[in-house]
Each structure stands twice: as structure tokens, then as C-alpha cells.
Amino acid sequence: MHLMKIADLYIRVSTDEQADKGYSQRDQEERLRRYCELHQIAIGQVIFEDHSAKNFNRPEWIKLLSRIKQRGNKTNLILFTKWDRFSRNAGDAYQMISMLTKSGVEPQAIEQPLDLSIPENKMMLAIYLAAPEVENDRRALNVFYGMRRAKKEGRVMGIAPFGYINRISEDGKQKFIVPKEPEASTMKYVFNEIVKQIEAPEVIRKRILKSGKKMLSPQAFHVAIRNPVYCGKVFIGQYKDEPPHFVKGLHEPIIDEALFNEVQDTLDGNRRASRPPVIKLTSHEKLPLRGFLLCPKCGAKLTGSGSKGRKEIYFYYHCNSRCGVRFIADNANKLFLEELRQYEFNAPVQKIIRQVVLNAHKQIAGNINDSKKQIADELDGLNQKLSIARNKLLSEAIDDEDYQVIKSELKPKIEQLEQRLQQAGRGKAVTGLETRLDRALSAVSSISWFYNSSSIETKRSIIGSMFPENLVFDGKEYRTTRLNTILKCILITNNQLNHKKNRNHLNFSGDSCLVVPTRIEQRLMTRSCIAF
């Protein structure tokens, strides 16, 4: 006699909204009942679930599993429409399928039927389980990229901060924020009061609240006074290799940038009235020289920012003071690249420098080995004397008192020599020197290319290491009061070689800083290069 199968119908939705409206639930139930009627399957329980399928910690599923484990359970099928209704985690799904199979229950998706007794079908099961999750991740990533692009264009995403209100354009395509009164005036008052440093921010907040005006909660208030949106800036967070930075917003600022910066310094307890405050942030990729340039007129540090044009954003290095100095960033960056080329040297010079360094290293390594050998010989001699004294003690040639005197004299000397030997071992020769030296010389000899192809962080590291003090840029050339010592040697070498080859002196913008300390290594390197 053929026994009729009994199936429990499992109906799950992915969001509470779907559960409330019930559309998805009714549709799934209708398809499952039609399947059971067509295949002559009796229906046992109908289970409705509105929890996520990330795991099996779901209230209704736990109840269903408890009934299945009971001895009187007659269910031999659990039916659902698709495998993503059952689970979206392959590992958990395999484990649950194994548990149900041992209990005599077969899980099955009516729209994606699989015979799990066939091993190859487990690969299809993994695809069915992963595909919806991949789709969700891709959709989330597209939303993330879209929001990040909108922020880079200067748009404030999400709910408008206190003092602003969300608006949408007449065509319904663009969303933006505008100041909202009286909250906008309240926030402007807050910033002006904080900068006075008479009352603490929390005291100001409570005073405004007591006056009957609308005000934020303590936590939201302290987040708000740190929000650069109020001075017309939009913060772009770090993502992969792109550093965090600010862009100019499309919205109307409530306060100016100088006031916002001053408030931030006040909140940080680091008020600096001697110079114009700036927001501390990593430079944009178009502004690698930001913070390294000095104004040729007033001597203040040049900052940098982007200005939105009709078609694109244009970047400038400019002075914050009233002197009005302003340089196009692209021009300044190109001239700096040309500046770097004067520190590059050709293959013959590279070969001489390589040989000088290797000879010096060989001499140092030889001195280290000689010193270690001398210390080791002295140490062996003292240990031998101590060993002789010990043997004489054992043979009763000397008594214990004499042995202790000899030991007390030799032991400190032995310990001191062991310490010196250990220190000498730390000064061992550099391993793989030739490979590392070739790599370093290659980088220096093509520093302009290396700089131009590097990330913004590497570019700024190169600038800081080459020029210990700031650069002065007048729109045509760069000057500095002090160069890295190695760069001085390279510049002198290049100047002397060019003078010797072309019979005329080339006028480099860095000539004012070419006074080199009279060190033996530098004189040797320069003379060797000139002789070549």
C-alpha cells in the first residue's frame, strides 16, 4: 500500500514590511498548496516566518524542529518555494539538511528541486544559496558607490542635520538641503558662543533648551558641533587607497570656515590665535604639496582647495591671509616634477656611488670582524685561566680561598668581554646589501618618475624626506633654505658634471642651499664623480 507523503509548508519573508503587507506570504502559500495538490501530498503544518535567513535561529523554525524531533511526528517533507527561503548560509544549510535527513524528513524547494542523494547536486545547492546573497551585496555596493559619488559632488546624503531641512528639485531628480529657521540661527549662535570660551558647550546647550527653543540631545549636540556641513564642507571617508578628505558642499553654509576651525581648536583644547586655523586632513591627490609650500609674500603656509567649475573641479594652492597669493595646482605640480629631475643622476655616476658605498661597507664589516676576533681571543684566554685555577683546586694544588680570589678577579672581566662581544655582534654587516643598494640607487636616479607614479601618501613622504624645511614657490620656481644632505651631494655632483661637460654653469633654483659640510665621505664622493 502506497503511503501518502505529508508535508509542512515553510513560508518565510525577508523583511518586516513584507510580513505586514502579506503579499509575499500569500503568494508563497498559494504556490506551495498548488504543488501539493498536483503531486498528491498531504499538508500538515503551515509555518509563517518573518526573520532573516542568515542563520536558523528563527522562532517558528525552532518550533518546527522541536515537533519534528518528537516520536509521533508524521511529517516526511518540508516544502518551500526556493532554497533562499530555507537558508542563505551554505555551511548552516548542509548541517540542517543532515539533521533533518537523520530524522526522516526531506527539505525541498518546489521551484529549484534537487535530489540531495546525488553528491553533484550539492554544488547546485551552494549556488542557489549564495546567489541571493551575492545579489544583495552587489546592490548594497552600488548604493555605496552612488552615495560616495554624490558626496564627492558636494551633496549631503541622508537626513539633514539640525539647522537644515531636506528639499528636492522640481523635476524630482536632485535632493539637497537648505537652512531651516529658527534652528539655523540657533546653531550659528552656538558656534559663536563656544568660541568665546566663557561657558562649556553643554552649559550653552542647556541654556538654549531652558529658553524654550528647540535643541538637540547631549550626544547629538556634540556630534553636530563637530560636523563640517555647517561651514559648507562635506567629509569623504577613507576607502581603500583613497584617503579621507573634505570637499566643498553645494549647500549654503550657516557659519564660515574660519569660525568652524576656531571652534574645533577650542574643543580640542589647542587654540592657536597666532595663525589662521585650518581643518587637519590628508591632502587630496591633486594637492600633494599642501602644507609644504610657503607664501612668497607673507611667509605663511599655503593651503589648497578645489573650486567647482561648470564642467569639473579646479584645484589651487592659495594663502589664507589677505595677500591673495593663488597658484593653479596643476602648474605647481608640473614645475615641482621638473625640480625633482635635477636630483637624478645617470648610470656612470650611479656606478661610482655604488662602488664607494660597497667599499665603505666592506671596510666597516672588516673592522667589525677584527674587533670581534680580538674580543673572542681575550675571552678565551680568561676562561682558560679560570679553568686552570679550577683544575688546581680539584688537585688540591691551591685551597678554596685562593680559588675564590682568582675567580672574583676574572669573573667581572669575563662578563664585560661577553657584553662587548654581544654588542659587536649587533653591528654585523648588512645582508643583501648589493640588491638593496641597487634598488635604492635606481629609485633615486628616477625619482621624478617614482614620485609621479606613487600614491598621495608616498608623494608627501618623498617631499618631507627631501626637503626638511618648507619650500617657497613664486609661481615659476622653488626655493628652500635647507636640503637633505644626500640631495646636496647629488646636486653638487650634477652641477659639476654638467659644467665639465658643457663648459657652462647651469643655474639651478636650489643653488642658494649648496653649502655642504666638509665631511670626508662627501668630498670623496664628489671628487670621484668629478674625476669620472
Per-residue pLDDT of the chain (532 residues), as tens digits, is 456 788 989 998 865 445 444 457 888 888 999 999 998 899 988 999 887 777 788 888 988 888 888 766 778 899 999 888 888 777 788 888 888 888 888 899 998 898 888 888 888 888 887 777 777 778 878 888 888 888 888 888 888 999 999 998 888 778 888 999 999 999 999 999 998 888 889 999 999 999 999 999 999 999 999 999 999 998 888 887 778 888 888 899 999 999 999 999 888 874 444 444 444 445 678 888 888 888 888 878 888 888 877 778 888 888 876 778 888 888 888 888 888 887 777 777 777 777 877 787 777 766 666 777 788 888 888 888 888 888 887 777 887 777 788 888 888 888 888 777 766 655 445 556 778 777 777 777 778 888 888 888 888 888 877 777 778 888 888 877 666 666 666 666 666 655 554 434 334 344 434 333 333 344 334 333 333 3
CA 56 vs CA 93, 94, 158, 334: distances in Å: 9, 12, 33, 60
Q: Give CA angle at 340 (339, 346), nearest 5°.
A: 120
At residue 487, the pLDDT reads 64
Residue type, 53: A
Q: What is the 3-state secondary structure (H, E, C) of 435-475?
A: HHHHHHHHHHHCHHHHHHCCCHHHHHHHHHHHCCCCEEECC
Residue 119, all three cell numbers? 553528491
**Claim to verify: residue 403 and residue 505 sit in the same structural domain:** no
Q: Do both 122 and 35 map to the same domain?
A: yes
State how far the alpha carbon of 81 is from the alpha carbons of 26, 106, 258, 459, in Å: 12, 14, 61, 56
pTM of the model: 0.38
Is residue 166 helix, strand or coil? strand
Which of 385, 402, 432 delimits the end of a domain?
Answer: 432
Shared domain check, 273 and 387: no
Taking alpha carbons only, the member of 341, 301, 344, 340 closest to residue 467 is: 340
* Domain assignment of residue 463, given as a range: 434-531
Residue 153 maps to a domain: no
Task: Classify residue 114 as left (phi > 0), alpha (psi -120 to 50) or beta.
Answer: beta
Rounded to whole angstroms, how far apart are CA atoms 417 and 420? 5
The domain that contains 73 carries what CATH number?
3.40.50.1390
Q: Examine residue 142 and state whether it is found in any structural domain, yes or no.
A: no
**What is the SS3 assignment for 288?**
coil
- Do 446 and 477 lie in one domain? The reply is yes
Q: Is 401 exposed, middle or buried (0-12, 13-18, 19+ CB in 10 A)?
A: exposed
Residue 93 CB partners (closer than 8 Å, separation 6+): 83, 86, 87, 125, 129
Q: Please report whether residue 353 resides in a domain.
A: no
Q: Examine the domain organization and report whether 470 and 421 are in the same domain.
A: no
Three cell numbers written together for 258: 574660519
Query: Interior CA angle at 250 toward 245 and 253, to 5°?
Result: 85
pLDDT value of residue 1: 43
pLDDT at 275: 44
Same domain for 368 and 230? no
Please give the pLDDT value at position 277. 43
Does 439 lie in the same domain as 425? Answer: no
Q: Which three cell numbers stand for residue 490?
A: 647629488
Are both 190 and 114 inside the same structural domain? Answer: no
* Residue 348 domain flag: no
Asked whether residue 109 is assigned to any structural domain, the reply reads yes
- Are both 527 and 445 inside the same structural domain? yes
Specify burial of residue 323 (Cβ count, 10 A radius: 0-12, 13-18, 19+). middle
Q: Which of 117, 136, 155 is the last residue of a domain?
A: 136
- Give domain status of residue 486, yes or no: yes
| Greatest CA separation for the chain | 112
Neighbours of 366 (CB within 10 A): 11
Say what the pLDDT of residue 507 is: 40
Residues 444 and 417 in one domain: no
Considering 118, 136, 154, which residue would you say is the last residue of a domain? 136
224 and 329 belong to one structural domain: yes
Domain count, the chain: 4
- Does 344 fall in a domain? no
**Residues 340/346/351/354 CA torsion (nearest 10 deg):** 0
Residues 204 and 322 in one domain: yes
State the Cα–Cα distance between residues 434 and 359, nearest whole angstrom: 11
Q: Examine residue 144 and state whether it is found in any structural domain, yes or no.
A: no
Supply φ then ψ for residue 98, to 5 degrees. -65, -40
